[in-house]
Chain A
Amino acid sequence: MRNVGIIGIGYTPVFVSKRKDVNIPEMISEAVDAAFVNTGLTPADIDAIVFGNMHTFEGVNLPHLWAAEHIRSLGKPVMRIATGGTTGMAAFHAGYYNVASGLADVVMVVTYEKHSEGDAQVGLMGIITPELMTMLSAGIDVTGGSGMGAIGGGSAGGISFQASSYLYHSGAGIEHIDAQAALERRNAAKNPYAHLKDPEATAEKIAQTPLVSWPIRFGHICPTTDGATVCILASEERAAKLADKTAWVLSVANCASDATTANLIESQITDPAEHRPAVIASRQAYERAGIVDPKKEIDYVEIYNGFAHQTLMYLEKIGMCEVGEAHKLQEAGELEMSGRCPVNASGGVVSTNAIGTSALNRVTECALQVMGQAGEHQVEKDVHKALAHGWGGMMQYVTITILGDKPKKG
């Protein structure tokens, strides 16, 4: 396995709810161009391309081939990866495998989502269609008013069971979810590539937004965003020639459990808040990176939080604190940009969610922190090692990437 580093990042100029001035390939192209401008590379320097976006969200099922010339993949190896919310990081992992294995020296990872041209609910339907058909054939009440089965409301309906179970097992309250959403929307105000920004956000303000599905309020939920993100990876040898600064990949890991949504065909047996995949993948990633005590050795964390409670829940799962401690760290101010355990200085997914990009943005935001290039949302403490977390699939798939300011030895 060769050492691999991140040598360049490209974002669309903005992440907003509706980009009406560009179509999908044009928007992707903006991020690709930004990555070339930021690195001084040209398409000729790229050996292979990995592409990622959500399945069926825009009704385009071969975007990587439709937008071939826009991602400069003509005459080069290209593959598309779609693993739900984790898509961006799964694509990043595939890019890493390419370089670490020696198959390629420089790989470009391209991700996007243009929610305004699609329908996230139809996309999510496309994930559970057989399940839904089963329920319909077995006499489910689709309004959710009676009988056994799913309650409507897309992923907010499903996720509320996770949030509720997390609160029960951790001792945290809905006020901590409010406070976490507020903290991250304040952080987002310092990030030019964030979507929902509110420098004045407070827990009280979030608490005034309507309950959608207790304990999840409107203010706890991610937006639907248009945007694209590109990340260029290179081998140690090429990085030395091509880049002034590099964020080194120390380890990657991923893990799934059984689907923890309403699993009617096979029956649900796993607590959606138990999330062993996050425990397993993070421990594997620590071991591979030679990290013994993450609480001491990981300086910065980016959590994939489509819903605000997930920041707290996953901090516990990945061992950055004990079970029941995350909300206490929050109360003590330790999760702020100035704290001992800064998390989601970018604003997290709860502030910006162009889904295909979201798990990759956790990695690129960790890279910016490690390289000291996060600008106004650079955290106060020195960041030598950072952990990026992705969540997705049928609510039960987790990806982990650990970055460092020095390449791994040995």
Chain B
Amino acid sequence: MMEETREVQGTWDLSTLKFRIEGVGLRRMLDGMKEGKLIGTKCHKCGTVYLPGPFNCRKCHIAINEPAEVSDHGEIMTFTIGYADVRGNPLEEPRVAPVVKLDGCDSWIMGVLQGVKPEDVHVGMRVKVQWAENLTGSLQDMAYYVPE
């Protein structure tokens, strides 16, 4: 009977997986971000606006494809304050991560909030997107949120 488990080194090569990873709505959103715009998808039946847009409405269960521009201002719905990085190492400065409902949009988007002390953040707080200097059509274009 062996008393100890043993470790064998190995890696998992994710590049062998061939996901079809780009939803129609995500492509639309990323293309819009090159222009500094946030383009979601609206359900023509119930009016729900999603960002990024799925190709069916979650409420009506019908195909949707109507572009709808969403504001880059919005409201904090919930938030957390991170004290550790992805690997569990302590961060030098706590990081405020809100989930924001942008005006004119029904879905929520996560991000990072700057320019506010962690103790001053609250649900319902108004924030706006701080766009990156060079827009490239990537999620990095929405660099972070700042108070409105």
Contact = CB atoms under 8 A, between A and B. Distances in A.
A140 interface: yes
Contacts of B107: 267-269
A262 interface: yes
Contacts of B39: none
Nearest to B99: A161
A149 B141 CA distance: 12
A145 interface: yes
Chain A's interface size range is 35 or more
A153 B4 contact: no
Interface string A83-125: 0000000000000000000000000000000001100001000
B18 to A, nearest CB: 10
A5 interface: no
Contacts of B23: 134, 265-266
A150 B83 contact: no
Majority secondary structure, A binding face: loop
Contact of B26 (A116, A164, A264): A264
B77 interface: yes
A210 B83 contact: yes
B139 A269 contact: no
A213 interface: yes
Interface string A261-283: 01011111101110000000000
A140 B139 CA distance: 6
A234 B83 CA distance: 49
A147 B138 CA distance: 9
Interface string B126-148: 00000000001011111110000
B69 interface: no
A122 B11 CA distance: 11
A198 interface: no
A276 to B, nearest CB: 13
A374 B50 CA distance: 49
A244 interface: no
Interface in B28-59: 30, 40, 48, 50-54, 58
B51 A267 contact: yes
A140 B52 CA distance: 14
A205 B143 CA distance: 38
Interface in B64-122: 77-88, 94-95, 97, 99, 106-112, 118
A157 B22 contact: no
B86 A130 contact: no
B52 A267 contact: yes
B117 to A, nearest CB: 13
Contacts of B17: 129, 133
Contacts of B12: 122
Interface in B1-25: 1, 3-5, 12, 14, 17, 19, 21-23, 25
14 contacts: A129-B14, A138-B30, A144-B85, A144-B95, A147-B142, A151-B95, A161-B78, A161-B80, A163-B80, A164-B80, A214-B118, A267-B50, A268-B99, A273-B78
Shortest 4 CB-CB distances between A and B: which pairs?
A: A139-B138, A152-B86, A214-B81, A160-B80
Interface of A: 18, 20-21, 116-117, 122, 129-130, 133-135, 137-153, 157, 160-165, 168, 210-216, 258, 262, 264-269, 271-273
